[in-house]
């Protein structure tokens, strides 16, 4: 393949790939009160995202938030080498899908969080970005909580005056694809008839795009897809999840003591070594 063809293929992939970042996908700040995001990953409110409201800050809240970041700085040191995380059972969520932040998830720990058992020193997910060399760089962690937790219960874990918990809502998945499939990394790439994949005759790169993105290839389905309505989802050959997973909160503890950065809904620039 000549250089022009390679460049064209790369451009086609970038145009057709949805813009991802969560918790798996592009995050930003709901209130505009956090540090600028050099990576342009922003989590915005909308049909696919529910965000907890802010509460007035108290000195006790600030102390609790600092306790969380201090704990993470100590407990995550070894995970700066992403291979350690993999060796200890963390698994990359949707590794073939381009994302601004990659979740390395310990599903046993996350299951405990979904049962309300919270260990600040052992978050259910670690957050990495890729540097220019393609290596994973640790930037933070994610805690989860049950989907039916109240704001007061979430506040007791990480205060709502400092952080915004979020939940992924109104997610349209193609029929035949379950949330468990997505967790396992099965995005329907092996099935040419999966809704959301591109017709292989549409362009020479369709097969490669489908292999990488599966049902997310045409941008209608998934966590940032265009569909958020149950009737529209059904008509497109899918089923709507009112909420996927539980509540989640990101913490970026490696950027000093600024809590606006540590609990930002933007993915900060990787810290300098």
Residue 209 included in any domain:
yes
Quote the pLDDT of residue 31. 33
- Tokens representing 149 are 């937790």
Give the percent of the chain with pLDDT over 70.
82
Quote the pLDDT of residue 247. 97
Residue 238 included in any domain:
yes
Alpha carbon 133 to chain centroid distance?
21
Quote the pLDDT of residue 44. 54
Residue 270 included in any domain:
no
* 96-108 tens-digit pLDDT: 888 889 999 999 9
Contacts of 225 (CB under 8 A, 6+ apart): 18, 48, 171, 172, 196, 216, 219
* 228-237 tens-digit pLDDT: 999 999 999 9
Domain extent, residue 17, equals 3-262
Quote the pLDDT of residue 201. 79
How far are the Cα atoms of 92, 107, 164, 252 from residue 35, in angstroms, in the given order? 27, 30, 14, 12
- DSSP string spanning 144-165? EE-TT--HHHHHHHS-TTT---
Rounded to whole angstroms, the Cα distance separating 271 from 26 reads: 19
On the question of pLDDT at 212 being above 70, the answer is: yes
| Mean pLDDT across 73-101 | 94
For the entire predicted model, the pTM comes to: 0.79
Residue 268 included in any domain:
no
| Mean pLDDT across 141-149 | 97
On the question of pLDDT at 249 being above 80, the answer is: yes
Kindly report the number of other CB atoms within 10 A of residue 133's CB atom: 6
Predicted confidence band at 202 (pLDDT cuts at 50, 70, 90)? confident
| Mean pLDDT across 168-172 | 96
Overall domain count for the chain: 1
| Mean pLDDT across 119-137 | 94
* 14-72 tens-digit pLDDT: 333 332 333 334 333 333 332 222 222 345 568 999 999 999 999 999 999 999 999 99
Residue 271 included in any domain:
no
Kindly report the number of other CB atoms within 10 A of residue 147's CB atom: 13
- Tokens representing 98 are 């381009």
Rounded to whole angstroms, the Cα distance separating 132 from 41 reads: 16
Residue 272 included in any domain:
no
Average pLDDT, the chain: 83
Kindly report the number of other CB atoms within 10 A of residue 119's CB atom: 13
Residue 269 included in any domain:
no
Residue 17 included in any domain:
yes
Rounded to whole angstroms, the Cα distance separating 211 from 255 reads: 36
């Amino acid at each position: 393949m000549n250089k022009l063809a390679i460049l064209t293929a790369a451009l086609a992939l970038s145009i057709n790939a949805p813009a991802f970042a969560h918790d798996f996908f592009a995050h930003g700040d709901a209130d505009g009160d956090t540090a600028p995001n050099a990576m342009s990953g922003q989590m915005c409110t909308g049909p696919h995202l529910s965000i907890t409201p802010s509460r007035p800050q108290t000195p006790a809240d600030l102390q609790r938030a600092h306790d969380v970041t201090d704990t993470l700085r100590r407990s995550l040191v070894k995970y700066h080498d992403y291979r350690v995380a993999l060796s200890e059972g963390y698994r990359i969520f949707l590794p073939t899908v381009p994302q601004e932040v990659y979740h390395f998830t310990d599903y046993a720990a996350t299951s405990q969080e979904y049962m309300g058992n919270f260990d600040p020193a052992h978050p259910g997910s670690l957050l990495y970005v890729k540097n220019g060399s393609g290596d994973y760089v640790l930037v933070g962690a994610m805690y989860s909580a049950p989907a039916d937790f109240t704001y007061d219960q979430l506040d007791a874990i990480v205060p709502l005056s400092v952080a915004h918990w979020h939940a992924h809502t109104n997610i349209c998945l193609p029929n035949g694809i379950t949330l468990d499939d997505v967790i396992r990394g099965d995005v329907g790439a092996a099935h040419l008839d999966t809704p959301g994949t591109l017709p292989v005759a549409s362009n020479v790169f369709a097969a490669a795009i489908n292999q990488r993105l599966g049902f997310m290839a045409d941008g209608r389905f998934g966590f940032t897809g265009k569909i958020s309505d149950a009737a529209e989802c059904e008509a497109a050959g899918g089923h709507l999840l009112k909420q996927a997973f539980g509540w989640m909160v990101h913490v970026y503890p490696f950027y000093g003591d600024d809590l606006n950065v540590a609990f930002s809904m933007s993915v900060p620039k990787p810290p300098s070594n």
